[in-house]
Amino acid sequence: MHITTGDKILITALLILNGWLFTNWEGAFSQGDWVIVTVNQKETMRLPLDKDQVTHAKGPLGLTEIEVKKGRARIVRSPCKNKVCIKSGYIRYADRLAACIPNLVVVRIVGKSHRGVDAVVG
């Protein structure tokens, strides 16, 4: 196998691109300011992301416990069967979410520059 000049140029370009992405990737995520909790597609709470607190949202299956701590949010307890929402862990950047689909509870982080809705499926 012989490495040509074109191969060397391609490898060098990919290494430079990889280095640039590695150093600038953090800037692609905007810091969140608020935690919005919705139940059955209705906003029930808006919590500041910079204040540590624990709250509960009542869905059709029961209470879902939500924790806001150190600028991050997560679902701590929920009455759903598989607990995927709990296993998903903390979210911290704007436009990220954690959801307990069976209990219809969505925890979403938004920032001052929130993009809004990307798409609506009906």
pLDDT tens across 37-76, in order?
999 999 999 999 999 999 999 999 999 999 999 999 999 9
Query: Within 13 Å and on the Cβ side, how many CA atoms surround 94?
Result: 17
For residue range 72-117, what is the model confidence (pLDDT) as tens digits?
A: 999 999 999 999 999 989 998 888 999 999 999 999 999 875 455 5
Residue ranges and CATH numbers for the domains of the chain are 34-110 (2.60.320.10)
Q: Round to whole Å and give the CA distance between 52 and 70.
A: 7
What's the pTM? 0.69
Question: Is 70 exceeded by the pLDDT of residue 5?
Answer: yes
CA-derived radius of gyration, the chain:
20
pLDDT of residue 48: 94
Cβ atoms of 37 and 106 closer than 8 Å = yes
